[in-house]
Structure formats: C-alpha cells, structure tokens
Amino acid sequence: MTKTDAIDALRTWAGQYGDLPAQLNDDLERKIYVPIRGATSRYRLRELGRSAFHDWGGVHTEFHELLIVDRISRSLTLIVAADD
C-alpha cells in the first residue's frame, strides 16, 4: 500500500461526517500521517469476512486496519480506525 493510499483512506474515514477540529487534525498529522509517510512498508490487513464478526460486528460502517513497518527505527505499528 502506498503512503498516499493509506493517508487518503484514513483522512476520508476521519472526515466522513464533516470538518475536524484543528487540534484533532494536528494530532492525526503528528501521530498517524507522519509515521505513515516515514514507514518503509505499509499494509492494509484483509477483511476476515462475516464469520469473524463478534455480536456487534455488523454495526460498523467502516473499519480500517493498517500495519506500518519502519525498518530503520525497527518499529511496527497497528493503526485501527473504526466508528465504535
């Protein structure tokens, strides 16, 4: 997954109901988008299907799981974006 695709997916999800407060935009930039840009690899985890749903699993309209790997800093980050 490209850094642009990852950031676009999360920005679209975060802003799906309107403009975000400036502080939240700043936090997302610093804590999410900067690490995505700096990562050496980015992966979108595949959907596991309905059999993996828990009792309330069907109430989510969107759910994103991204794995961010930075081999230089030797870090692995899981980003989960959900509307729960």
Q: Dump pLDDT digits (tens) for 9-57.
A: 999 999 999 999 999 999 999 999 999 999 999 999 877 666 656 665 5
Q: Which residues pair with 76 in a beta bridge?
A: 69
pLDDT at position 62 over 80: no
pLDDT the model gives residue 82: 83
Question: What's the pTM value of the predicted model, to 2 decimals?
Answer: 0.80
The pLDDT, as a whole number, for residue 61 is 66
| Rounded (5°) CA angle 40-37-48 | 70
CA distance 78 to 42: 10
